[in-house]
């Protein structure tokens, strides 16, 4: 197969469209994709650690339980994908768009996010501990019970997001400077033991 040969020979896969492939359980280290489209592919339980994606589109793919540690994604688009419990720890993301995907319980700990836009995502229970970000945009995203330990949210607009049960450190330092609605502020104030009277 094209991908296994490329990984084995340390070659770059370029300018191809892969449709409906079952790549579940595959293990590729250091795989490089350039200008590739993955449509309706199954990558359940795959391990593509240290992968390097540029100008790649993943559309309608199943990525649940997959592992991407130390991978790098640049100018990548993920649309209508499912990646429940996927491991994106220590990954790099630059100029990436996520739309209408489900990544509940996914792990992004120690990820580096630059110019990343997330819209219509379900990130329930996802973990973003010790992350670095710049120009991160979250719109209409479910962050219920998501963990942001040691990831400062200052300047991040969360006004269109669901924040119930958001987990941060005991000092709540991560929330300083986050942009929220009045309703969200009242909900977050409960974490501080503040009682708001109307």
- Taking residues 132-136, report their average pLDDT: 94
Give pLDDT tens digits for 74-83.
999 999 999 9
DSSP-derived secondary structure letter, 88: -
Which residues are CB-contacts of 147 (< 8 A; sequence separation ≥ 6)?
Answer: 125, 126, 127, 128, 129, 167, 168
Task: Report the range of poorest mean pLDDT among 62-71, 81-90, 166-175.
Answer: 166-175
pLDDT above 70 coverage of the chain, percent? 99
Where does residue 142 rank: exposed (0-12), middle (13-18), buried (19+ CB within 10 A)? buried
pTM: 0.90
Give pLDDT tens digits for 15-35.
999 999 999 999 999 999 999
Closest CA to 122 of 96, 148, 108, 140: 140
pLDDT at 139: 93
Ordered by where they begin, the domains of the chain are: 2-192 (2.160.20.80)
């Amino acid at each position: 197969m094209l991908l296994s040969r490329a990984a084995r020979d340390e070659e770059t896969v370029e300018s191809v469209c892969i449709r409906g492939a079952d790549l579940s359980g595959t293990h590729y280290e250091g795989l490089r994709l350039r200008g590739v489209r993955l449509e309706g592919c199954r990558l359940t339980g795959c391990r593509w650690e240290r992968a390097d994606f540029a100008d790649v589109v993943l559309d309608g793919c199943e990525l649940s339980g997959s592992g991407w540690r130390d991978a790098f994604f640049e100018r990548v688009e993920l649309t209508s994908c499912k990646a429940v419990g996927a491991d994106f720890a220590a990954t790099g993301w630059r100029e990436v768009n996520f739309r209408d995907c489900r990544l509940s319980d996914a792990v992004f700990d120690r990820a580096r996010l630059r110019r990343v836009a997330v819209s219509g995502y379900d990130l329930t229970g996802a973990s973003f501990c010790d992350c670095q970000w710049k120009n991160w945009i979250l719109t209409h995203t479910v962050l219920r019970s998501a963990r942001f330990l040691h990831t400062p949210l200052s300047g991040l607009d969360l006004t269109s997001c669901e924040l119930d049960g958001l987990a941060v450190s005991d000092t709540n330092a991560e929330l300083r400077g986050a942009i929220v609605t009045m309703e969200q502020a009242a909900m977050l104030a409960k974490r501080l033991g503040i009682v708001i009277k109307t």
